[in-house]
Structure 1
């Protein structure tokens, strides 16, 4: 229930100040040596240079959610089709462009073992380096997310490196 309220609050607050919405699907490996995950995300562009995104991902094999993240993204450069490249503060008023973006986020990961003997819980922080190529309202993106994850008691933290790719539908 709390998760649903959080997502609804995110959408309502974003709608009040949003310039654009997008949602999308993605896949990638959340941590080294783990199965690929599939996920969905909802993003809100609060300005040409600030976006918020909520994501949920789950195992392709088990078809259940395992991970959620909240990201703050900052587009840093736009490449337009008329060969006029602009900084994000002067974003193009078109959907036919590409952009490079940076960001940071937090994530939570929960997985119950196959035999239900142990639960795996981790929390982490990560950076985001990505690119999105737009054609009309559809964008193809790829990003790298280096970070640090740890169990809830924060002992034994370790590095993480995620790769994600997918597509967005912009409104």
Structure 2
């Protein structure tokens, strides 16, 4: 039986990422104090992956306005991330860190490693400033994700975190009504 990672603290890790022409160290300490997205994908130089990473790149400024750092993670090395960045127009526009996980430790820690392939599932994890996982989404390999939907979910998670006692209903958009769970609401929704 698999335990849910929701509300669990991320495990310690140490990795190297490629960002803005440089190799940078990344660890769990870098995530503390701000919202983060770990966006796992199977491999560089593939088909669905660049469409997803490009979609995130197109919306990166919106993530930044929300105080969210995005980390793209695959089991490739940071050297491979640089080569892909330098040769793909789509990947070349990425400003967020692309984390190398060649030891597969990070993918394993988040429960998205496909052991027999040595690749990560399409897993998305939203991590709060305390380092706790608030949102998990895992898609089958052929199903790409949507940055706009991820932004909506992050806004909802941030709203709930800053408004104790309120929850966001399905399809909630910023500025819409929320719910305050109570005995009076039972059976009324």
Q: State the TM bucket, normalised to the shorter chain.
A: under 0.3
Higher RCO structure, 1 or 2 (CA under 8 Å, sep 6+): 2
Q: Select the structure that is richer in strand.
A: 1
Superposition TM-score, scaled by structure 2 size: 0.23
